[in-house]
Amino acid sequence: MTNEITTVGSELQLSATTSRRINSSLESLFSHPISTSSHPNDEYESLMHKLTSMSSTRDVSKYMIILIGLPAAGKSTVSGHLIKFLKETNTTLNIRCQMFNAGDVRRKEKTLQIAQDETEDIFDPKNSDRREEFAKVAFNSALDALNNDKCDISIFDATNSTKQRRKYLFNELRSFNHSLNSKFVISPIVMHITCSDKKFVRYNVHHKAFNADYFDKQYESSIKDFARRLTHYYTQFVPYTEDEFDHMHSNCLYDNHHGIFYFHIANAGSTATTNIIKYSNMASYDTVKLITALDHFTTNYAAMFGKQYISKVKSFTQFSKVISSNHYNFSNALKELSRLKLLRSVIDDNYFKKLPRFYEINRILEE
């Protein structure tokens, strides 16, 4: 794992940007006529209180971690590990984290039905607008939690699989940071989770068959449905590249106090990746502590958490391990073996060959 750490922006540029932000806020304040029903001094004191309050709270560090990654890549698992890591690390143990999952919003709206045709399949590309609405609800909840000081870091857990979606998110953060009604300035942190190991994908799909979407469904229908869902996502997914990061960086770096940051975990940390860290000149000490912790987390993820996961995958994919793990329960062993054979027949090598741009999306070369 390598990383790139830079401090960017001159005092002149930052001063000009800060001036523009203050002027924009003042224009917003005085864009409406002063009410004649109240005393001018009361109006003035109210405005000054709002400005003073905005200035004091905007120095507090707030962050949104935007996850990027396909289903069954391990996003939610990594997020759980990250929250655990931050709570157990001395420099970050007081940071409050909350996770906001777009899938949870969808599940609250309606219980998933196994689609019989494309009109019923919410994951079909033709129905992307419906998924966008669920994602926006989760994203806005993440913003509200930060703005109401319910957490210091909100983790937006969604695939965020297209440039259009990601552009929308960064534009919304930019608007939020410029808004006079925003109590804090939020710095975006991109965390990219990829999985190109076929054994890992099969293992993750297996566990998806037991999540809230499929709690009342048969195992076979569950994995077939999820395999179809994964195929839909691969047809739409646009990999997040350094060029996109640079474009986002050039457009919005000066819209927040601390900088913008990119972290990447691939194959449970077993594949080398690159982190990109760009601080602004106004980055706080708290920000530096957090970003240093995140860099350590992603760089050492395999040793801290990934090795346990990899060990479970190896045990799961070996028939002998399945039998030995159920030594005193042969009926359960037979059930697990039957599921493993079925999984391998659905998520086989031919399935991966048909997945659109499987190796390109996961940034590896087929051996």
Does residue 354 sit within a domain? no
SS3 17: helix
CA distances to 19, 58, 70, 183, 257 from 54, in Å: 15, 6, 38, 6, 14
Does residue 154 sit within a domain? yes
Nearest residue to 312 via CA among 205, 199, 212, 194: 199
- Residue 36, both tokens: 């004649």
Does residue 359 sit within a domain? no
The whole-number pLDDT of residue 260 equals 85
Burial classification of residue 169, based on how many CB atoms lie within 10 Å of its CB (0-12 exposed, 13-18 middle, 19 or more buried): buried
CA–centroid distance for 3 within its chain: 20
- Residue 97, both tokens: 């984290």
CA distances to 13, 72, 103, 105 from 208, in Å: 48, 8, 12, 17
The whole-number pLDDT of residue 9 equals 43
Q: Give the separation between CA 136 and CA 149, rounded to whole angstroms.
A: 20
Does residue 32 sit within a domain? yes
Is the pTM higher than 0.85? no
Does residue 346 sit within a domain? no
The whole-number pLDDT of residue 166 equals 94
**Residue 187 belongs to domain spanning:** 2-195+241-307
Regions of the chain where pLDDT drops below 50? 7-38, 47-48, 50-56, 111, 115, 119, 364-367
Q: Give the separation between CA 214 and CA 218, rounded to whole angstroms.
A: 8
DSSP for 107-165, written as a single string: HHH------SSTTT-TTSGGGHHHHHHHHHHHHHHHHHHHHTTS-SEEEEES---SHHH
- Residue 352, both tokens: 């991966």
Nearest residue to 239 via CA among 44, 93, 69, 355: 69
- CATH code, domain with 7: 3.40.50.300
Does residue 20 sit within a domain? yes
The whole-number pLDDT of residue 337 equals 84
CA distances to 78, 303, 308 from 268, in Å: 8, 10, 10
Q: Give the separation between CA 151 and CA 98, rounded to whole angstroms.
A: 6
- 218-255 burial, b at 16+ Cβ within 10 Å, e below that, comes to ebeebbbbbbebbebbbebbbebeeebbeebbeebbbb
Nearest residue to 99 via CA among 121, 118, 83: 83
Does residue 338 sit within a domain? no
Which residues, in sequence order, are bridge partners of residue 68? 192
In the chain, the number of structural domains is 1
Note whether 292 and 91 are within 8 A (CB). Answer: yes
Does residue 320 sit within a domain? no
Q: Give the separation between CA 53 and CA 61, rounded to whole angstroms.
A: 15
- Residue 266, both tokens: 């691939």
Residues with catalytic function: 157, 195
- Residue 202, both tokens: 């099969």
Rounded (10°) CA dihedral 252, 258, 259, 261: -120
Q: Give the separation between CA 66 and CA 143, rounded to whole angstroms.
A: 12
Q: Give the separation between CA 143 and CA 176, rounded to whole angstroms.
A: 9
CA distances to 120, 251, 317, 328, 341 from 324, in Å: 42, 56, 13, 9, 17
The kind and range of the H/E element at 190 are strand 185-194
**212-246: pLDDT as tens digits:** 888 888 999 999 999 998 998 898 899 888 888 88
Q: Are strands 153-157 and 185-194 parallel, antiparallel or unpaired?
A: unpaired
Q: Give the separation between CA 134 and CA 181, rounded to whole angstroms.
A: 24
With tokens 């998806």, the residue in question is 208
**Angle (deg, nearest 10), helices 40-57 and 11-29:** 150
